[in-house]
Amino acid sequence: MNNRRQPPIISRKLGTFAVERRLILIAILATLPFAFWVWLQNHPEHNPAAPLDLRHPTGMATAAKLSALRDDIEECRTVLERSDVRFEALAPQGEGACARPDRTRLTAFPLSPNRPATTCSVAAAMELWRAKSVEPAARAIFGTGLARMEHMGVYNCRTVRGGSTTMSQHATGNAIDIAAFVLEDGTRISLIADWDGDADKARFLRKVRDEACGVFATVLSPDYNALHADHFHFDQDNRWTGVCR
């Protein structure tokens, strides 16, 4: 008789366990939204709602926040202020296709032969790229920091080179061409000499090129064409995203 009564008892115990397991699972699932919210508060680089700060690590939301700055000069300059980046807002210049309503100069950026005014969104991307990509790559590969970058120009009222009738992003100062990097120990790394030269220098150039693709709308390098054999072209064209060559 005892043997005949045991199966129902076991069945009831198993049923109780299944209910308890479901309740535990429901409780865990109910806490996930709050846990995710807390995680986002602690990781603003992944939080689309968190204000952009260029000192934060780069994350899943960084590129979208940078992209949004292209059409909002005042918000972009607010981001620079929030990020403790020194800059100067200059008066607009030019007219028509070469009008420059946004002229923002990074006053402490290690750039030579001078510090030209770019659009604010280019300036913000340059600062983020320098701090999160160029400096770490220099220290990791060469054991020294960055002294300066050498550029080939920002503003040029012209069409895209190569016979195009489209106005260049340089026509509004929304682009910059970087030709070389000089490190604190005096090492100079140039695209024209080192893209296919010294192994460490070539590795450095490709690493900073690849990481620039996460902060600029357009990144063109010697891999793109012969016109870019001696420089990186960076711009924040709002018609393009993710052009990385």
Domain map (residue ranges) of the chain? 64-244
* Residues 86, 83: Cα–Cα separation, whole Å: 9
If one compares 157 and 38, the residue with the highest pLDDT of the two is 157
> How does residue 36 score in pLDDT terms, banded at 50, 70 and 90?
low
Interval 175-202: pLDDT, tens: 999 999 999 999 999 999 999 999 999 9
Alpha-carbon distance 205 to 81, whole Å? 30
pTM of the model: 0.85
Tens-digit pLDDT profile for residues 211-242:
999 999 999 999 999 999 999 999 999 876 67
> How many CA within 13 A on the CB side of residue 121?
27
User: Percent of the chain at pLDDT above 90?
Assistant: 73
pLDDT tens, position by position, 144-171: 999 999 999 999 999 998 888 999 999 9
> Is the CB of residue 26 less than 8 Å from the CB of residue 20?
no
pLDDT at 144: 98
Residue 19 pLDDT > 80: no
Cα angle 111, 179, 86; round to 5: 20
Mean pLDDT of all residues in 102-114: 97
Average pLDDT, the chain: 90
Q: How far from 12 is each of 2, 17, 23, 24, CA to CA, in Å?
A: 16, 9, 17, 18
Rounded to an integer, what distance in angstroms lies between the CA atom of residue 228 and that of residue 233? 7
Please give the helix or strand (H or E) that residue 232 lies within, else none.
strand 232-235
Q: Which of the four pLDDT bands, split at 50, 70 and 90, describes residue 31? A: confident
Look at residue 205 in the predicted model and tell me its pLDDT. Answer: 98
Residue 7 has pLDDT above 70, yes or no: no
**CA distance linking residue 3 with residue 8, whole number of Å:** 10
